[in-house]
């Protein structure tokens, strides 16, 4: 398996040829799932004592398995939050795997860590964080939020030790009632509780609600979480007032910007994110709106030493790493083994420059506004809320959840688009999540036509 032979050359050549075809496919098929029974009938038996060979294995993936997976980079993939990696990022992801780099320590991966840190430093600057801010790329927003909150609790615990003060019976996180599900998931893993604060009529979390929660629960609160772009609506909390409330009581402020924080690359959008510069930690997912492949979340600390104090793993075999003054990414999150998942983004940024990234993000914001205006003009359709970023939520008047689901299934079966129902306040709704720069007004308007 590891020797350089004619067989391994053929294997590598075949895989690279398929990857090239897929990366440069102009009309990517949307594809879609099939039943477990159908896949079992068509794809079972690939794992054998002697192997089926590279040619058959590649063909099985290309002809049977891949067509039953949705193409997340299709311009008509508008559900959840899409992934639309640049061609440069896709290509370099192959290089990352081929280079056999361990990205957990400076000793073993200095060049890769340096390149990742170039990106993290640029992002920190865009978010208004001070010089010296930095962090690590982790698997996704859930791991990023969990890692940040673990660091926040560690800071609170250390403060109690210094002040000779007992920890509370239960630690608490204050966040919006509309916060991403990963906050509750992180709290469950940490065995802490969440205090959900009701949002305003506009769906935003405000500082007065946070201040009331902090006053009610006192020193049991170790972190306040604000959202920089909700998944369902793309709503940005009133971060400035939330930050003021958190800072008044000296509580860690974390910004979950997994989807929306990329909008800060656009000058006219920055006022909506006022207060991010006061955060103790932030996350943003490059595999969402920064055009990197799965999976990558940038976790950035205002003071990386606080992340390091919480996460550095200690063991005799790690002494050679932890006793050095090096920048070891694995010291900054709940992970030890890690691939340098920030390198595809670094390469794409290096190739294209930051201005192309700004233009690509701006495309989604402008297109959301255009299609929202179109929805408002059409009889039988209405907006649930005006878009703030690149998510547009709307309804087909008179339709039930069953109507939406049947329509969604037809749309996918016709290979036009992937749009699934969501809900708001108990009402079934539809939403376009616009991330892909190849998504056009004409494509979206054509989808609306099918709702007539």
DSSP string, 130-159: PTT-EEEEESSHHHHHHHHHHHHHHHHHHH
Q: Specify the 3-state DSSP secondary structure of 173.
A: strand
Three-state SS at 304: helix
Eight-class DSSP state of 323: T
Q: Which pLDDT value is given to residue 108? A: 95
- Short-list 212, 208, 218, CA closest to 156: 218
Query: Residue 318's pLDDT band (boundaries 50, 70, 90)?
Result: confident
Q: What is the mean pLDDT of residues 81-89?
A: 98
Nearest to 241 by CA among 210, 270, 280, 216: 210
Q: Check pLDDT > 80 for residue 323.
A: no
pLDDT at 321: 79
- What pLDDT, in 10s, does the model give residues 282-312? 999 999 999 999 999 999 999 999 999 999 9
| Integer Cα distance of 79 and 6 in angstroms | 44
pLDDT in tens, 191-224: 999 999 999 999 999 999 999 999 999 999 999 9
- Name the pTM for this structure: 0.97
Cα–Cα dist 355/389, whole Å: 19
pLDDT at 320: 80
Q: What is the mean pLDDT of residues 60-89?
A: 98
CB atoms within 10 A of CB 120: 24
Of 24, 67, 25, 19, whose CA–CA distance to 43 is shortest? Answer: 67
Digit-coded pLDDT (tens) for 131-171 = 999 999 999 999 999 999 999 999 999 999 999 999 999 99
- As beta bridge partners, residue 122 has none
- What average pLDDT is seen over the chain? 97
∠ CA(89), CA(116), CA(78), 5° rounding? 40
CB 391 within 8 A of CB 235: no
Measured between alpha carbons, how far is 212 from 177 in angstroms, rounded to an integer? 14
pLDDT digits (tens, 9 = 90+) for 24-37: 999 999 999 999 99
**pLDDT tens column, 339-393:** 999 999 999 999 999 999 999 999 999 999 999 999 999 999 999 999 999 999 9
Q: What share of the chain in percent tops pLDDT 70?
A: 100
Q: Answer whether residue 120 shows pLDDT above 80.
A: yes
Question: Which contiguous run of DSSP H or E holds residue 253?
Answer: strand 252-256
- Residue-level pLDDT at 44: 97
Given this model, what pLDDT does residue 319 score?
Answer: 77
């Amino acid at each position: 398996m590891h020797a350089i032979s004619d067989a391994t050359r053929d294997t590598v050549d075949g895989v690279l040829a398929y990857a090239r075809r897929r990366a440069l496919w102009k009309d990517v098929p949307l594809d879609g799932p099939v039943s477990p029974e159908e896949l079992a009938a068509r794809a079972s038996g690939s794992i054998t004592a002697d192997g089926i060979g590279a040619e058959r294995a590649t063909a099985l993936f290309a002809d049977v398995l891949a067509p039953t997976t949705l193409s997340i980079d299709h311009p008509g993939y508008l559900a959840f939050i899409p992934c639309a990696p640049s061609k440069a990022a896709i290509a370099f992801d192959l290089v990352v795997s081929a280079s056999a780099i361990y990205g957990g320590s400076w000793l073993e991966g200095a060049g890769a860590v340096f390149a990742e840190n170039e990106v993290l430093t640029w992002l920190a600057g865009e978010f208004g964080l001070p010089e010296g801010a930095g962090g690590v790329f982790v698997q996704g927003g859930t791991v990023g939020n969990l890692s940040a909150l673990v660091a926040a609790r560690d800071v609170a615990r250390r403060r109690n030790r210094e002040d000779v003060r007992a920890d509370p019976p239960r630690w608490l996180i204050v966040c919006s009632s509309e916060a991403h599900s990963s906050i509750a998931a992180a709290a469950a893993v940490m065995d802490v509780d969440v205090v959900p604060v009701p949002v305003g009529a506009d769906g935003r979390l405000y500082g007065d609600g946070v201040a009331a929660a902090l006053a009610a629960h006192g020193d049991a609160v170790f972190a306040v979480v604000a959202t920089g772009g909700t998944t369902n609506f793309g709503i940005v909390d009133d971060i400035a007032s939330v930050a003021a409330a958190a800072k008044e009581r000296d509580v860690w402020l974390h910004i979950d910007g997994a989807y929306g924080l990329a909008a800060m690359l656009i000058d006219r959008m920055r006022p909506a994110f006022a207060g991010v510069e006061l955060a103790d930690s932030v996350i943003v997912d490059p595999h969402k709106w920064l055009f990197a492949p799965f999976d990558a979340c940038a976790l950035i600390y205002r003071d990386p030493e606080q992340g390091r104090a919480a996460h550095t793993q200690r063991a005799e075999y790690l002494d050679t790493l932890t006793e050095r003054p090096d920048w070891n990414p694995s010291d900054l999150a709940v992970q030890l083994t890690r691939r340098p998942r920030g390198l595809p983004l670094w390469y794409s940024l290096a190739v294209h420059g930051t201005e192309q990234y700004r233009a690509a993000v701006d495309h989604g914001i402008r297109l959301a506004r255009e299609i929202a205006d179109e929805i408002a003009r059409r009889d039988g359709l209405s907006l649930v809320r005006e878009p703030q970023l690149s998510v547009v939520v709307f309804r087909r008047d008179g339709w039930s959840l069953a109507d939406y689901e049947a329509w969604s299934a037809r749309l996918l079966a016709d290979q036009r688009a992937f749009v699934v129902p969501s809900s708001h306040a108990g009402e079934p709704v539809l939403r376009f999540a616009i991330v892909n720069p190849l998504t056009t007004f004409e494509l979206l308007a054509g989808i609306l036509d099918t709702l007539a």
